[in-house]
Structure 1
């Protein structure tokens, strides 16, 4: 390990420089990182680093999923739950079946079971890639929420498919009733374990005498604890991490102190930035090992690439068809049930939604976890070919879809949905509500202080500006106490507003909550 340390250090520096370049030229960093890793792997003097799938499954996947669950809007996720669930479970399952039959038809030696295994590997789109690409263009908020929500759940569904396909390949048979019970346990067990451990961890934060450093360390070990606990009882560790992350994120203002929340934001943003960069970089670095395996299997590079492009085309076409299918189902079902959005999205939205199916880290990890030998000692059939096809799918979708998606978005000019108030309108509403609540609180509880105290009088006269003010004049202890009470009141009002007002964008709410935390931190530092 130490012999490779200079290379690892250089890799991290290269990742930072590549991401700087991606920001400069407005190309999503996952694309550049994969290509850079691929080019660097072809340099003869570069050490051949063997990538263990457990590195990705245990070291990378839990924190990436946990952070995604922590930052997503639960309100928006619940609002779009039907389409998110359909893409995360139904579409993933149909994609795996499609890949199974196409692979069986066009790739010699690939049985339906092996095709289903390949389908489970390549079926989940990667949210990091889509998010990085969408940062450079303006898209409707609903689309980003659907993509983020789908990615939280499709990893779990695809890995479940992968496990069942592994059983079928290894044993040569598939018992449907046993598979159904096992599938049910993986889903239900993963959800229960995630919620239960999330609740226990929340109580740890509330009952133990922690500070910001200890709270941050607890949040860092939380995803690993939840993942390993769920995997130990053969349920879905991925789903457990997602459920635990959603639960803790929803209750974060009930158990995390102000300073801990601010510290967590900085630590987690840096950690996830680094982990995402490393994962996409090592996808490119893994090519030499994959090519060696392909040669040992006696399959030409050109033929294997052809198979990979066939599967890539199947995935792209299948997702677009699924997107149109989701629209048709929604338009039909709106006659019988209340749906989140009953308007006709036209032909543009399904194409864009279908074109966001870039593959990434989960597909690589699943492919690498295929054992070299079956339990009976025979080589795993076409393992190296499946690995190479997975690499072609990841690289192909990142380059083909990743580079053309921004062009497609600009050309189509998607409609501006009125799901939320415009940011300036939401800001005005929140300022007015906070000012009104704060003034009522002062007039009811501290009417005398408001008249006599200079600082409170100033707050009353200019409350809308106070949240972002940088007034360094010394405040009395009594004024500080009253001000902190009011900030706490404002936080509760914002959280309530977020939960009761569907059209209020949670991103705007979070900006104000962050400002309140910063303001409290500034006042506390002077106490």
Structure 2
């Protein structure tokens, strides 16, 4: 019996993964961001007759999905950008979360019969954090200032922690029937601060392992998957913030990764994490859509029409709250502090509008709602649990689909421009490469003069780097948008890719001849792949 259940679970997961991949490909054809498309597809699948009811264990999301997804987000976040925009990030991740939770608490108690203030704060904590994956996946298709994406990514790293803390305090108040602001504030500071400390301590431990033990790229890659779970579980064991532990540890290890990882480890780790992160996110979003039957069940004294009305009112409210918060958060500090006005460029009205509209809810909101217990400590049913779950589902659906689908149009209508003076990305990339070539040439000339004179291979290395520096310099000139040089550069890339394809076809011929070992052929194929990847990342 147990084997049959395990067999069915494995088949279900594999089926969902395969369906998710097909749906993502279809969404790409339709030019719809994959989180939005997967939620809609999951919603449609939930109406298929005979499809088994899929009930998500919240521990599955909190323990299996959340640590690696947070770790990947922290790893990909620029610490420099995070620190640079720490004020707007903190105002969103802490200020807006608490403000949203408070407004939702008081409004929900006034419009929903039998809804207590503790239940209102519970609902507010559940639906206050936006989902970063949804926002950034939509933003990938449009051009927005780096400030906008940096703030959204930074906000998403912290707001999960602050909202979960609100959620847990409200849950404790519902269960115990008592609530103390002083105790809640003290617990919040302790949970946040010690969560950060645990994350940094565990991160430093893994840093030492990566640096001093005889690891390989495969071992390092596996260690990067173990690290977020150790950080999260250790912090949660002591009732501290596991989310902040993973975020702080991930940021620290990412910042120091160049000191402990070699090239092969970086390439392998990035490739594996990209695929795993995509699969985890895809599964979560399709599961959100499939949860509709669970959300509808057991509404009790409330009709479906009433529940939808409450959900739509609260959805509209969280959208409006975020938009209203953005402008005071963006401009009041500028009015109060002259140093901000002199050091920072004005964000304009477009940036706050885009960030305000990018408030799609997702994974953490669903997991929090599902983790509300069925029973109180006295054995009675948890009050309004199914209504809270249904409202959460409506908020996720409305914000993800409505705001997600309209966000690209909002960005185009605002005609937002990057107000910070910055080199074009093509020019930045070429400039970095030229700087690296010059440093390498200077190092060779300073330290290996005799080798350059006596060793043909080292002399050839110097000549190759000189030629690369010359090509990069020519590229910078071409980026002045002289049309003839631009066309010549594009033709250069086309020829390089064509030559690589011919070499790859020759490798296939060599495999048929059975003269060379497969391992050596794969090594050369990997070199060609790296060369092609390098060309594809060059400015076009």
TM interval, shorter chain, is: 0.7 to 0.9
Partner of 2:320 in structure 1?
317
Distance 1:33 1:74 in 2: 31
Partner of 2:154 in structure 1?
149
One of 380, 383, 392 as aligned partner of 2:382: 380
- Per-residue displacement from partner, 1:9-48 (whole Å, max 9, x unpaired)? 2211111111112222211111110111111111122111
When residues 252 and 465 of structure 1 are mapped into structure 2, their CA distance, relative to the original with a 3 A threshold, is farther
Distance 2:112 2:336 in 1: 39
Alignment of 1:304-383 (within 5 A): 304-335=307-338, 337-338=339-340, 342-383=344-385
- Per-residue displacement from partner, 1:213-251 (whole Å, max 9, x unpaired)? 111111111111110000001100000000000000000
Partner of 1:491 in structure 2?
none
When residues 179 and 146 of structure 1 are mapped into structure 2, their CA distance, relative to the original with a 3 A threshold, is same
Select between 14-23 and 114-123 the one with higher mean Cα deviation.
14-23
One of 390, 402, 409 as aligned partner of 2:392: 390
Alignment of 1:441-452 (within 5 A): 441-452=443-454
Distance 1:130 1:393 in 2: 15
Distance 1:141 1:347 in 2: 16
Contact 1:330–1:342 (Cα < 8 Å) also in 2:
no
CA shift for structure 1 position 341:
5.9
Select between 297-306 and 118-127 the one with higher mean Cα deviation.
297-306
Partner of 2:487 in structure 1?
none
TM normalised by structure 2 equals: 0.84
Please give the secondary structure, in 2, of the residue aligned with 1:248: helix
Distance 1:260 1:465 in 2: 30
CA shift for structure 1 position 419:
4.9
CA shift for structure 1 position 210:
1.2
Partner of 1:286 in structure 2?
291
Distance 2:318 2:222 in 1: 40
One of 103, 108, 117 as aligned partner of 2:108: 103
Partner of 2:79 in structure 1?
74
Q: Does 1:276 align with 2:304?
A: no
When residues 10 and 440 of structure 1 are mapped into structure 2, their CA distance, relative to the original with a 3 A threshold, is same
One of 414, 437, 441 as aligned partner of 1:435: 437
TM normalised by structure 1 equals: 0.86
- Per-residue displacement from partner, 1:308-335 (whole Å, max 9, x unpaired)? 0111011000000110111222321332
Select between 158-167 and 251-260 the one with higher mean Cα deviation.
251-260
CA shift for structure 1 position 451:
4.0
Partner of 2:69 in structure 1?
64
CA shift for structure 1 position 135:
1.0
Indicate the RMSD between aligned Cα atoms, in angstroms: 2.3
Partner of 1:54 in structure 2?
59
Distance 2:187 2:93 in 1: 19
CA shift for structure 1 position 258:
2.1
Partner of 2:35 in structure 1?
30
Please give the secondary structure, in 2, of the residue aligned with 1:293: coil
One of 301, 306, 311 as aligned partner of 2:304: 301
- Per-residue displacement from partner, 1:180-218 (whole Å, max 9, x unpaired)? 221111111100000000000111112221111111111
Contact 2:144–2:417 (Cα < 8 Å) also in 1:
no
Count of aligned positions: 475
Contact 2:345–2:420 (Cα < 8 Å) also in 1:
no
When residues 67 and 84 of structure 1 are mapped into structure 2, their CA distance, relative to the original with a 3 A threshold, is same
Partner of 1:171 in structure 2?
176
Gaps of 5+ in 2: 1-5, 473-492, 501-526, 535-540
CA shift for structure 1 position 117:
0.5
Contact 1:125–1:358 (Cα < 8 Å) also in 2:
yes
Partner of 1:263 in structure 2?
268
Alignment of 1:197-216 (within 5 A): 197-216=202-221
- Per-residue displacement from partner, 1:441-480 (whole Å, max 9, x unpaired)? 11111123334525124224313279999999xxxxxxxx
Alignment of 1:378-527 (within 5 A): 378-452=380-454, 453=456, 454-464=459-469
